[in-house]
Amino acid sequence: MNQDIAWMFARSILLVGSGYLVGRGFLTDEQATQLVGAAGVLFTIGWQAWVRWNTKAVPAGVVTESQNNPHVPTIPTVSAATGARTDAPVN
């Protein structure tokens, strides 16, 4: 599941919940809009922190060594957080 799909579900739940609160008179339309927008910002920050948790960057020297040495097999990797592609040597 990517961020767009997860946010779609979260936003739908927030809209239903805030719609209920507006209907009962606990919130105004403006407050509900601001609440869903603020939740979106917090969701995005939380998602990015979760995706990047324990993600280790490949040192530039390791990639350079593997590219210069034809005897070191490499595995292409793609970072889940940034989408950057690197070729890391097999250890």
pTM: 0.52
pLDDT by residue (tens digit) across 73-88? 666 677 777 777 766 5
Q: Look at the alpha carbons of 44, 47, 32, 13 in this order and tell me if their dihedral is positive or negative.
A: positive
Q: What does DSSP assign to residue 27?
A: S
CA distances from 71 to 6, 56, 60, 74 (A): 43, 25, 18, 9
pLDDT by residue (tens digit) across 9-66? 888 998 899 999 999 999 899 999 999 899 888 988 988 888 887 777 766 666 665 5
The token pair at 11 is: 């936003």
Could you tell me the residue ranges of all domains in the chain? 3-52, 60-89
CA distance 46 to 62: 31
